[in-house]
Chain A
Amino acid sequence: MLHKSVALALLCLGIGVGIGAGTVITIQALYLIVVGIAGSVLFVFSSKKTKAVSMLFIGAVTGMARSQFVPSFNENPYEEFIEFEATVVREPELLVDSQRFVVESTSVEGLVQVKAPLQPRARIGEQLLLRCMLHKPEPFDGFRYDRYLERYHISALCSFPGREVLGRTQSVRTHLFDFKSRLMSGLRHTLAPPEHTILLGALFGDKRAVPQKIMDAFRTTGTSHLLVISGLHVSLLTAMIMSMCKALRMPRRTMIITVIILLVTYVIVTGGQPSATRATIFGATVLIAEMLGRRSQSLRVLLLAGTGMLLLNPLLLIYDAGFQLSFGATAGIIVFGQWFQDRMTFIPVQLGLRSSIATSLSAIIATAPLIAYSFNNFSPIALFANTILVPFMPLVMMGGIVVTGLAQVSHAAATWVAIPLYYLIHLMIRIVKWFAQLPFASIEIPDFNVLILLFVSAHLILIGWYLAIRKTEQ
């Protein structure tokens, strides 16, 4: 009998493969039905080995079928100058010289991404009268910009429109947005830029806040995950909440429920951004599995969470580097983390050094092929940079939370409390810049195509599979 955990893993893998294939090719529904029925029949009447293949089959057919139901927005009045009423549904992203926000309108299928001057700032819930030429997103330089936007249901672009504010709807979401804006404003007025931009990214998910030069330095050194809400941040937040719960002597079950409630609240307060939601789902599921004493279940939980997200939005698999990297890093840490730790006995355990290096190395190995494929580079110093910089993050985040809260009560007090935090982030940025200017800080890999990616990823999956099976046997 096929073990149910293996069956589940194969099913998830199949769905992933199916969604991947189905996203890039169109398949007739009839073929899918026939192949799906064949797979089911095979599963019921076959031996153990064939059952495994049929499980993969059923998953692939399901994935392919799901990927065929991605909405298309061909009916929109593209390349026409139109006037339409719309509501701002996502908070604006501030670019250097403009702002970008997303609106919803009854006149347009899907969402519209608007680019506008920096002032006046758009706010969630604002009702606008917009006048602009509606453009269809087009691919450029081999990058499927259209699908990239479509993954979040954006079907049209509107650049520098005529804009009139008609009013603003009041809802829980707008109140949450205003609350978040107030927190961010308090932080901005307490901690100087560019240092506060690191916290705006790490705590509030404002990934555009960090100036380009600093962002480039973090990218070059393979540490850009520190600038967004990632699994690392979620696990740090969870650790902080758990420490508080333990100090309050909460029972285990209450502690888990508290952690979940606070993490969900955090995601909502940060605006429910996809990247934050994803990191929280991945990070929290694994942590909670560990907290429940079921560390061995982590990979299964992660697979289920990832597959669930793909079934909800199939375009994430191919067109969302953030999804790929988050999933890859978390899976890498689960599969390779302990294995590396067991073999790194020469590294001292003080200050969590061994576990930190093992975790960074696992995440780097798992994400390196994706980074090489998506961004055509690899940072040989990523491990060193991460080993030095990751230990800063608990202090930076804890300090950020304290200063953000204190700024709402007393600006003067917060300003002085923020000074050590400022210098801590200042030091962090200096270290990153120093690493970034080293020769070979980043190596360009222009020829890393999809075939190499699949080849390397398949090997990583096989190694991971082998390690997981060996661990189970032990």
Chain B
Amino acid sequence: MKMKSVTTIIIYVVAVCGFIAYMYMSWVPSTSDQLRIEMLDIGQGDAFHIRTPQGFDIIVDGGPDRRVLTELGEVMPPYDHAIELVIATHPDADHIAGLTELPDDYTIERFISSGSQKSTGFSRELDTWNEQGVEVGNAVRGMRLDIEENVWLEFLHPDPPNVHEDPNDDSVMFILHYKQFSALFTGDAPTEIEDEIVEKYDTFGHSTLDVDLLKIGHHGSRTSTTAAFLEATTPSIALISVGVDNKFNHPHAGPLYKLNAFGIRVFRTDILGRIICYTDGNGIQCAPES
């Protein structure tokens, strides 16, 4: 009897120690010296999570549905339920429908959009966010948003009051800076807007549009990614968020051909699933989630 109870105690102690070791090995520290960009695997649409070295969470678009919640749960630390900044590049369902689900699981502090009011459902949701104390604002060309030391966002588009009929044309475009590293997010901006940005980039404070990472516009559609844009932005890595066997046949051959011609390494969610990129402020490394 005594022997049995000793065995039971040993089993309990081993189980508890094993569990503590598991927690220790799986623990995600709240701060680090690296900035992380994650292209979430949410099907046909866009959803990105950026975590800064000081633990500031930024969501850029939320994909078409609730899958974004599971994805965020897997990339954010389990003790962190606050998203400091949400950016909706434009009000197409494949970019914003998932955002309306975020308040189910997370507290949102600030929201920035293009200001385009295409979706009445989303406008209604935004009113609710506003009532709940979320700071709601619009992106404006030339706006700089300091996130923390060495991390800031620089907005390139839209350029009110020049409002377009197609919400894609008013996609929020911004550059994320961390020390020497920079990444350009483009929403679904078409070639005309890319041309406009290339033409004007040095008139609103940039010496160059040179970035390390480019989020390819409109899921690799032929309506985005001109050679001139790639030449101006000179990324080494391109991210394409696209659904498996999507009905639009994204990404199209044209943009893929150009990316290949420029020697840019492409990461696609339809082939690789969730993509995680790390930077210490100099280089960038991307890989699919194992």
Task: Decide: B105 and A193 in contact? CB cutoff 8 A.
Answer: yes
Residues of chain B within 8 A of A97, CB atoms compared: 64-66, 97
Task: Decide: B7 and A350 in contact? CB cutoff 8 A.
Answer: yes
Asked whether A415 is an interface residue with its Cβ less than 8 Å from the other chain, the reply is yes
Which of A's residues lie within 8 Å of B, judged by CB?
94, 96-97, 117-120, 185, 188-197, 211, 348-351, 415-416, 418-420, 422-424, 426-427
CB distance from A301 to the nearest CB of B (A): 33
24 contacting pairs across A/B (C-beta < 8 A): A94-B66, A96-B66, A96-B67, A97-B65, A97-B66, A118-B65, A118-B66, A118-B100, A119-B125, A192-B105, A193-B70, A193-B73, A194-B70, A194-B73, A195-B78, A197-B70, A211-B70, A348-B7, A415-B79, A418-B79, A420-B19, A423-B19, A423-B23, A424-B19
Task: Decide: B66 and A192 in contact? CB cutoff 8 A.
Answer: no
Task: Decide: B78 and A350 in contact? CB cutoff 8 A.
Answer: no
CB distance from A346 to the nearest CB of B (A): 15
CB distance from B44 to the nearest CB of A (A): 11
Best-surrounded residue of B4, B67, B104 (most CB of chain A within 10 A): B104
Task: Decide: B7 and A194 in contact? CB cutoff 8 A.
Answer: no
Residues of chain B within 8 A of A211, CB atoms compared: 67, 70
With A119-B125, A350-B7, A350-B8 as given contacts, are A423 and B22 in contact (CB-CB < 8 Å)? yes
CA distance A191 to B105 in the complex (A): 9
CA distance A96 to B106 in the complex (A): 18
Asked whether B69 is an interface residue with its Cβ less than 8 Å from the other chain, the reply is yes
Name the CB-closest residue of A to B125: A119
**Chain B interfacial residues counted at CB < 8 A:** 32
Task: Decide: A415 and B81 in contact? CB cutoff 8 A.
Answer: yes
Residues of chain B within 8 A of A424, CB atoms compared: 19
Residues of chain A within 8 A of B26, CB atoms compared: 423, 426
Residues of chain B within 8 A of A419, CB atoms compared: 23, 78-79
With A97-B66, A185-B104, A423-B19 as given contacts, are A192 and B76 in contact (CB-CB < 8 Å)? yes
CB distance from B244 to the nearest CB of A (A): 14
Task: Decide: A194 and B19 in contact? CB cutoff 8 A.
Answer: no
CB distance from B153 to the nearest CB of A (A): 26
Choose from B23, B65, B72 the contact partner of A420 (Cβ within 8 Å). Answer: B23
With A193-B72, A423-B19 as given contacts, are A118 and B78 in contact (CB-CB < 8 Å)? no
Residues of chain A within 8 A of B23, CB atoms compared: 419-420, 423
What 4 A-B pairs come out closest when comparing CB atoms? A193-B73, A97-B65, A422-B78, A192-B78
Name the CB-closest residue of A to B73: A193
Best-surrounded residue of B11, B79, B97 (most CB of chain A within 10 A): B79
Residues of chain B within 8 A of A422, CB atoms compared: 78
CA distance A27 to B254 in the complex (A): 67
CB distance from A284 to the nearest CB of B (A): 30
Task: Decide: A350 and B101 in contact? CB cutoff 8 A.
Answer: no
CB distance from B210 to the nearest CB of A (A): 37
Task: Decide: A188 and B105 in contact? CB cutoff 8 A.
Answer: yes
Name the CB-closest residue of B to A391: B15
Q: Per-position contact with A for B1-40: 1 when CB-CB < 8 Å, else 0?
A: 0001001100110000001001100100000000000000
Asked whether B258 is an interface residue with its Cβ less than 8 Å from the other chain, the reply is no
CA distance A153 to B4 in the complex (A): 54
Asked whether B74 is an interface residue with its Cβ less than 8 Å from the other chain, the reply is yes
Task: Decide: B19 and A427 in contact? CB cutoff 8 A.
Answer: yes
CB distance from A403 to the nearest CB of B (A): 12
CB interface residues, B 75-89, toward A, < 8 Å = 76, 78-79, 81
CB interface residues, B 106-151, toward A, < 8 Å = 106-107, 121, 124-125
Residues of chain B within 8 A of A194, CB atoms compared: 70, 73-74
CA distance A97 to B65 in the complex (A): 5
CA distance A424 to B20 in the complex (A): 10
CA distance A349 to B66 in the complex (A): 44
Choose from B81, B101, B105 the contact partner of A118 (Cβ within 8 Å). Answer: B101
Name the CB-closest residue of B to A98: B65
Name the CB-closest residue of A to B101: A118
Task: Decide: A350 and B100 in contact? CB cutoff 8 A.
Answer: no
Task: Decide: A120 and B76 in contact? CB cutoff 8 A.
Answer: no
CA distance A193 to B102 in the complex (A): 11
Q: Add 15 more A-B contacts to A193-B72, A422-B78 (CB < 8 A).
A: A97-B97, A119-B124, A119-B125, A120-B125, A189-B105, A193-B70, A194-B73, A194-B74, A348-B7, A350-B4, A351-B11, A416-B79, A418-B78, A419-B79, A426-B78
CA distance A190 to B67 in the complex (A): 19
Residues of chain A within 8 A of B106, CB atoms compared: 189
CA distance A189 to B12 in the complex (A): 31
Task: Decide: B65 and A119 in contact? CB cutoff 8 A.
Answer: no
Choose from B64, B69, B97, B107 the contact partner of A193 (Cβ within 8 Å). Answer: B69
CA distance A194 to B67 in the complex (A): 10
CA distance A189 to B69 in the complex (A): 12
CB distance from B26 to the nearest CB of A (A): 6
Residues of chain A within 8 A of B67, CB atoms compared: 96, 211
Residues of chain A within 8 A of B101, CB atoms compared: 118
